[in-house]
Structure 1
Amino acid sequence: MIDEPLERLRAAARRTRELAGNRAVTGLGHEDADDDVGTIGTDGALGFDPFPLLQALHDHGVRAVVIGQVAGIMHGSTELTGDLDLLWDGVPEHAPALAAAFASAGARLADDEGRPVATRPDSFLRPKVRFTAPGAGGDCCTPALPWGGLRVRDCLDRAITATGPGGLEVHYVSREDLIRMRRALGRPKDLRRADELAALAPDRRS
């Protein structure tokens, strides 16, 4: 049985691909996203499919937690997105599996200034590394990334797990923590999406 949050995500990714397929290439990546529109307005929406990378993380035994608007969609948000943001614990012993998962998915990495870095364990120990993989790009963060005073490490412990075909497990941040993260960032899209999430009926696993 496929969990409803993953069904929501598959449907949203399909709608994103259909929408983006009808427009011209913009030349904009996820780091260029407008603070109001979000990454749905960038080329990240072209061919958007986060599942190959999520499957690679599962196959390599990596516990990376989905944050950002993909998590919002899994909780029932109706806004589409063109990127996948992840949070992991930043423990050096876990970095080799993370690097192997990203490499197997064909991901390319860049530092916070956009300079390419090798897809190897030490690259993931930065507070944040950008990635571009077939189907999805975004940020892979550790708890060392400042988040407006919010202790994001605690969000890892409260994450929810959704199960898909073949035993695929996708971990995603709880609705309450996602609302806190949104409000801590405070951009127009974050505040709007936080209000939307707050108005939804809570997921029974939240």
Structure 2
Amino acid sequence: MLDDPLERLHDAARRTRELARERAATGLGHDDADDDVGTIGTDGAVGFDPFPLLRALHANGVRAVVIGQVAGIMHGSTELTGDLDLLWDGDPAQAPALAAAFASVGARLADDVVLEPAAFLRPKVDFTSPGVGGDCCTPALPWGDLRVREFLDRAMTAVGPGGLEVHYLTRQDLIRMRRAVGRPKDLRRADELERLA
């Protein structure tokens, strides 16, 4: 297994693109993903590359934390994904930089939401871009008993070429989040993360 979290993600993104290269379009987006298979079974897997958006977030000084299966992959999970889910603190002062990062990669927001700073102050906004789609969430999204603002404070940072910094949940916080959501894929992936620990 690769030791570096960003190398793991590069490798997983490459394998995802290879897997989906010859697949016929399904018309399914990340919100249509099966609760067992996940977004690897959707059109989000075609051309999957989270790095342009991750680099744009870094270049714009945005501290968004990777959650979901991309974070799982960074911790060593072998399951592939077709989306990128993010958590940020929801501070209105940071919203312009967040909007600029998304705009710089040609992202669009779902449901005809205008890509402007105010849009990111919602508890959750869905997005698509040429390389990746997913959710961008704040702690205002109902997370049950989880104190996800504390998850942000504990997040880890992987550093890549050119000083790229990618923030992602700790293994334990990701496991907590997986168990709280409780879909079959989440429980399976939580079990895998516990074995990897």
In structure 1, C-alpha distance between the alignment counterparts of 2:148 and 2:109, rounded to whole Å:
23
In structure 2, C-alpha distance between the alignment counterparts of 1:140 and 1:108, rounded to whole Å:
12
Post-superposition shift, 1:149?
1.6
Q: Is the partner of 1:22 in helix, strand or coil?
A: coil
- Give the equivalent residue in structure 1 for 2:126: 130
Among candidates 151, 155, 159, match of residue 155 of structure 2: 159
- Give the equivalent residue in structure 2 for 1:64: 64
How is 1:59-98 mapped onto 2 (pairs within 5 angstroms)?
59-98=59-98
- Give the equivalent residue in structure 2 for 1:14: 14
Among candidates 169, 173, 179, match of residue 173 of structure 1: 169
Question: Where in structure 1 are there 5+ consecutive unaligned residues?
Answer: 202-206
**Deviation per residue, 1:9-55 (Å, 9 max, x gap):** 00000000000012111000001000000000000000000000000
What is the TM-score when the length of structure 1 is the normalising length?
A: 0.93
Point out 4+ residue stretches in structure 1 off by more than 3 angstroms. Answer: none
Post-superposition shift, 1:133?
0.8
In structure 2, C-alpha distance between the alignment counterparts of 1:22 and 1:74, rounded to whole Å:
26
In structure 2, C-alpha distance between the alignment counterparts of 1:25 and 1:167, rounded to whole Å:
36
How is 1:187-198 mapped onto 2 (pairs within 5 angstroms)?
187-198=183-194
- Give the equivalent residue in structure 2 for 1:204: none
- Give the equivalent residue in structure 2 for 1:55: 55
- Report % sequence identity: 82
- Between the two proteins, the alignment pairs up a number of residues equal to 195
Among candidates 120, 140, 150, match of residue 144 of structure 1: 140
Structure 2 residue identity aligned to 1:87: L
In structure 2, C-alpha distance between the alignment counterparts of 1:153 and 1:105, rounded to whole Å:
27
Q: Is the partner of 2:14 in helix, strand or coil?
A: helix
In structure 2, C-alpha distance between the alignment counterparts of 1:22 and 1:182, rounded to whole Å:
31
Q: Is the partner of 1:140 in helix, strand or coil?
A: strand
- Give the equivalent residue in structure 2 for 1:103: 103
Q: What RMSD, in angstroms, separates the aligned Cα atoms of the two structures? A: 0.7
What is the TM-score when the length of structure 2 is the normalising length?
A: 0.98
